[in-house]
Amino acid sequence: MTPELVAEHGLTPFEYERLTTMLGRTPTFTELGIVSALWNEHCSYKHSRPVLRTLPTEAPWVLQGPGENAGVISIGDGLAVAFKIESHNHPSAVEPYQGAATGVGGILRDVFTMGARPIAMLNSLRFGSLDSARVRYLFGGAVKGIGDYGNAVGIPTVAGEVVFDPSYEGNPLVNAMCIGIMQEHELIRAQASGVGNPIFAVGARTGRDGIHGATFASEVLTEESEAKRPRVQVGDPFTEKLLLEASLELIRSGHIVAIQDMGAAGLTSSSAEMAARGDVGVVIDTSRVPVREEGMTPYEILLSESQERMLVVAKRGHEDGVRAILAKWDLAAEIVGEVVDEPVYRVMEGDRVVAEFPGSRLVTDCPVYHPEAREAPEMAELRARDVHAIAELPEEADPAWTLERLLSSPTIASKRWVHRQFDTTVRTNTVIGPGAGDAAVLRIRGTRKGLAAKTDCNGRYVYLEPRTGGRIAVAEAARNVACTGARPLAITNCLNFGNPRRPEIFWQFKEAVAGMGEACRELNTPVTGGNVSLYNESPLGAVYPTPVIGMVGLLEDVENAVGSAFRREG
């Protein structure tokens, strides 16, 4: 085990020493890979967790807050809404089509693993100037990936935002949000339990795509990032549709006690996190995992991020029932492990132990950092600048010239080219779709209720004054939802920032989160979950701090929904 190999896996010397202390020995290559996957920023939130704890997360209508696959709120009459937003920024920067498509697939799985049927998708997209051929390639590929995946699964994309700014030239932001509906009693959590219960791998087979994808998402983008294209996952929306139906049937069947998406860090993350939540031990046998390539090692099987896969803890004695449901949907279902009463996370390859960690410490022993936070001196100077001292252009004397310049700006101009590639009305629940209102509105079948939803953020505001910008992002989302006639209920957030080890970046992060928290308390819209995406930097610099807000609101009578267009003369 060399320092070079440890560094290649993204661990600092301090973290490696912590690992050896936990094990009491030198880790195996497979154990190093496991810790690399679970202790990276994307999975561990090691720089952001203390700050996130300051956000308001509770309300009488919150059934599930942060810490699960998605947040869940009650909307009355026994109905509940699951929703979440996540990023797929780094994958979309090197392979925009698959990066964006698998972002859609991942957020769909986060919602239906809670027991909710997805009813709508939203997105928040940010790219550099369209004058750049590279940006046009990234933008076009990402939009097509979002459309192709969502359309094939049959979930409408109903709202979003698109922003173009030089800040995102080297590091685009591709954030995807999903909303699902369920009965309150159908809520299920990813918490392993029941000693002797079998653990199933279900869905697609495991391949070599996406290995170390979560680690890649925890790095600054460089000129060498293009070579990491194989770390980008490859999606199959038709398998996703089968997995969606099979998972919901499994949840309602009574055959299972827990279900978890094998997303970031794959089998490693899903199995370790379910065990930690349930405070139980698990044993996984990689030789029993269905694979689609010969000769895969335990390291590759554990870290693969092949898409459309789930890890399921079934009730002992219900194995045949699980297999029957998966066979009905033409999906694989193999027992790959079991829940044990021994406090251990153990990985086998047949009869050989390839990795073993004490109890839940694989998850709980990840270090938590408290970086220095300090505002960059030039920011105060920038805020103090007198904008009225900037000389006007001669053309500004003509208001028509100014109006034309504004309307032709890609950020302000019509986004019809984008949303025409999305099926916005499939499932026929869309009451207000893209371009027809300040937020999307969906009817809830069998009731008079409607849901309103919107994503919002202004990165420039957050860059200039992070705390105020954080407040504005929440307030803007709430206003847009309220303008449809809905009462804002709760938010999910996707916090896109640069390298947290830089004091000025971490200051932006802390201040923006503080501002969001203040606005959420004032508006009584708790945070139910979300995603933190750090290291959004390239050789061109960091992106604007962009805490995207996904707001959900309720209309008691969807017939009262209000769009943004004039309805009648007079």
pLDDT tens across 331-353, in order? 999 999 999 999 999 999 999 99
* Same domain as 240, residue 272: yes
Q: Quick one: tokens of 423?
A: 């099926």
- Average pLDDT of the chain is 94
In a domain, 265, yes or no: yes
What pLDDT digit, counting tens, does each position of 248-286 carry?
Answer: 999 999 999 999 999 888 899 999 999 999 999 999 999
Domain hosting 547: range is 48-187+371-384+394-560
* Same domain as 232, residue 379: no
Is the predicted pLDDT of residue 227 greater than 70, yes or no?
Answer: no
Check which CATH number belongs to the domain holding 91 and give it. Answer: 3.30.1330.10
Cβ contacts of 31 within 8 Å, gap of 6 or more: 19, 23, 355, 356, 357
Q: What are the catalytic residues?
A: 42, 88
End-to-end distance of the chain based on CA atoms, in angstroms? 78
In a domain, 145, yes or no: yes
Domain count, the chain: 2
* Same domain as 147, residue 103: yes
In a domain, 565, yes or no: no
Q: How many CB atoms lie within 10 A of CB 54?
A: 11
With contact defined as beta carbons under 8 Å apart, do 431 and 484 qualify? no
pLDDT of 570 reads: 74
What pLDDT digit, counting tens, does each position of 71-121 carry?
Answer: 999 999 999 999 999 999 999 999 999 999 999 999 999 999 999 999 999
Paired residues of 162 in beta bridges: 125
Is the predicted pLDDT of residue 222 greater than 70, yes or no?
Answer: no
* Same domain as 415, residue 360: no
The 546-555 sheet, strands edge to edge:
430-432, 440-443, 450-456, 546-555, 487-496, 527-533
With contact defined as beta carbons under 8 Å apart, do 303 and 211 qualify? yes
pLDDT of 376 reads: 94
In a domain, 524, yes or no: yes
* Same domain as 173, residue 82: yes
* Same domain as 343, residue 320: yes
* Same domain as 126, residue 208: no
Distance from C-alpha of 187 to C-alpha of 271, rounded to nearest angstrom: 20
Distances 310 to 70, 157, 250, 307 between C-alpha atoms, Å: 15, 24, 11, 9
Region at 219 (left for phi over 0; alpha for psi -120 to 50; beta for the rest): beta
What pLDDT digit, counting tens, does each position of 494-552 carry?
Answer: 999 999 999 999 999 999 999 999 999 999 999 999 999 999 999 999 999 999 999 99
**DSSP type of residue 561:** -
pLDDT of 230 reads: 61
pLDDT of 359 reads: 83
Q: How confident is the model at residue 219 (pLDDT cuts 50, 70, 90)?
A: low
Pick from 437, 433, 439, 435: nearest CA to 455:
439
In a domain, 567, yes or no: no
* Same domain as 231, residue 321: yes
* Same domain as 79, residue 30: no
* Same domain as 444, residue 296: no
In a domain, 568, yes or no: no
pLDDT of 360 reads: 86
Distance from C-alpha of 82 to C-alpha of 73, rounded to nearest angstrom: 7
Whether the CA torsion 203, 206, 209, 214 is positive or negative: it is positive
Distance from the Cα of residue 552 to its chain's centroid: 16
In a domain, 569, yes or no: no
Distance from the Cα of residue 135 to its chain's centroid: 23
Distance from C-alpha of 140 to C-alpha of 133, rounded to nearest angstrom: 10
* Same domain as 232, residue 174: no
Check which CATH number belongs to the domain holding 303 and give it. Answer: 3.90.650.10
Distance from C-alpha of 94 to C-alpha of 99, rounded to nearest angstrom: 8
In a domain, 181, yes or no: yes
* Same domain as 463, residue 494: yes
